[in-house]
Structures are given as C-alpha cells and as structure tokens.
Amino acid sequence: MNCLLKSAFSTYSRLAHHSQPTVHLKLFTKQNCMLCEEAKRVLDRALKRTKNKDFDLTEVDIEALGNEASRDKYRYDVPVLDFERSGFQKVTYMHRLDENEIVEELDEEVWYK
C-alpha cells in the first residue's frame, strides 16, 4: 500500500465516539497506475480538509487475488472512489478525483447530523 494512503488510513480511520462510521469510502486502484497515485494524493488532501472525521477508508487493488469482480467492473475506470452511507444514494467518482468535490461530499454528511 502506498505510504500516502497508509497515512490516510491511520489518521482518518479514527471513528468519532468509537461508533460505526457514517461514511464508508472505498478506493479502487491498481499497480502502476499514474491516475491512481494522483487520486491518492487528492484524497489525502481532501481528508485533511474535511470537517467530517466520522468515516472509514478501504483501498481495493482490483488486480489482487480475490478481487476479480472489482477487476471486471472497474478495469478501464480506475481510480474509482465510492461513498456509501445510510440514508443517502451511493456516490461514485471515476478517473480524476476533484479535491473540492470530495470535501463537499464528506462535509454534506456533517450538516445532516
């Protein structure tokens, strides 16, 4: 796993009050993917800026053994970032991630609490 995302996992996977996170982020990537590396940097910056720290983040290498369904689904679309949360429609970003859009999407959850 990329050092940048390790930082994001350790820093941003903390859950408020040790409860279940309200937002589940899943980043689909693959090795030797320049867009994926850029997406990780954008995501890292966005996670530092957001007011909402109540989420978890999972990185999925679509080429890893056992991830055949993800590889078949996203082989031509990585990086892909899924936002999943209760009471909201699932949001998916593909290819180039926009830092401001990610922050806005995460902060939207804060306003509804």
pLDDT score of 12 more than 50: no
Does CATH place domain 22-111 in 3.40.30.10? yes
By the 8 A CB rule, do 5 and 40 touch?
Answer: yes
In this prediction, residues 5-28 reach a mean pLDDT of 59
Residue spans of the domains in the chain: they are 22-111
Q: 60-74, pLDDT tens digit by residue?
A: 999 999 999 999 999
pLDDT of res. 17: 42
